[in-house]
Amino acid sequence: MSGLRQMIGSKGTVWAAGAYDALSARLIQEAGFDALLTSGYAISASLLGEPDTELYTMTENLAVVRNVCSAVSIPVVADIDTAYGNPITAMRTMREFESAGASAVIVEDQVSPKRCPCAADKVEIVPMEEAVNKIRAMVSVRRDPEVLIVARTDAVDPEEAIRRGRAYVAAGADIIQPISKCFKNFAGLQAMREGCGVPLSLQLLAWLETDLSRKQIEQVAALATYALVPVMTVTQALRTNLRALYESRSAKSLPMPVTGLHAFNDFIGFGRVDALQREFMPGS
């Protein structure tokens, strides 16, 4: 498990991208990102072909996170949605994702099953006291204090978001994450950062992605994540090439470039496995 807390302490802002499986995680690491997020939105799309409405189970999400943690050496921030139930359920969720190797978890205060705020017009959130107790329960079973708890609030009223953020920090959350619909400008993010007394986690969507400068993001955020760029990139590239492949029945002139077989073999590690076989299976 990599020291995300220490990395934030030295870098100030850790930049990440959203993975949905072990291959996308390897590519994020290769690109040079400090860390990665296992995006619930992208995992639901990749694993089930379904929208991010908490259709997948805790164990299905956990399996993806475990594979991702095994595949990379950079810190993994796990999206655990609502922690799949009440505070008691959240305790098991915390233990399982910590054991899988996550360096941080993001838990949100939506009613379960949740709805993705980037697709839903309105989401329901639980009473603040219920969310506070869930965070307290998660803190109580965290074995390694270096594992960060990121508390996300889906409140869209700025004052309510700050009020909740402050309460979540008091309950033991290390970082607070607002949703992009809550604030309309950088000043609002500054107010939340100052009001909660801890750095923010920002998933760079909507105006957060298009309007904020790198300098502004680094003034308020401990975690800055391009959560959906990888899955959206893959979707567009596959859609483009598969359509062309079907129409032409030829792979000779596809619109999008394709990684060569030998280059992919090198990246994915056939050479490493061959070396291990020579060392430990000399007669094979």
pLDDT at 243 over 70: yes
State residue 1's pLDDT score. Answer: 43
- At the topology level, CATH places domain 4-228 in TIM Barrel (3.20.20)
Percent of the chain residues past pLDDT 70, beyond the cut: 99
For range 146-152, the mean pLDDT: 97
Q: H or E segment at 206?
A: helix 206-210
For residue 132, CA distances in Å to 66, 172, 179, 206, 228 come to 27, 9, 18, 28, 28
Which of 120, 236, 112 lies closest to 180, judged by CA? 120
Q: Which of 235, 218, 222, 227 shows the shortest CA–CA distance to 196?
A: 222
The string of pLDDT tens digits covering residues 87-145 is 999 999 999 999 999 999 999 999 988 888 777 778 899 999 999 999 999 999 999 99
| pLDDT score recorded for residue 47 | 96
Residues designated catalytic: 116
Q: Where are the domains of the chain?
A: 4-228, 235-280
- Among 75, 106, 111, 76, smallest CA distance to 168 is for 106
pLDDT digits (tens, 9 = 90+) for 152-184: 999 999 999 999 999 999 999 999 999 999 999
The structure tokens listed for 9 are 């302490």
Instruction: Report whether pLDDT(2) > 60.
Output: no
pLDDT at 119: 75
| 268 half-sphere exposure, CB direction, 13 A CA radius | 11
Supply 250's token pair. 């030829």
Among residues 142, 143, 196, 146, the alpha carbon closest in space to that of 169 is found at 196
pLDDT value, residue 112: 87
| Model confidence pLDDT, tens digit, residues 42-73 | 999 999 999 999 899 999 999 999 999 999 99
Q: Hey, which residues does 225 pair with through a beta bridge?
A: 16, 203
Higher pLDDT, 197 or 1: 197
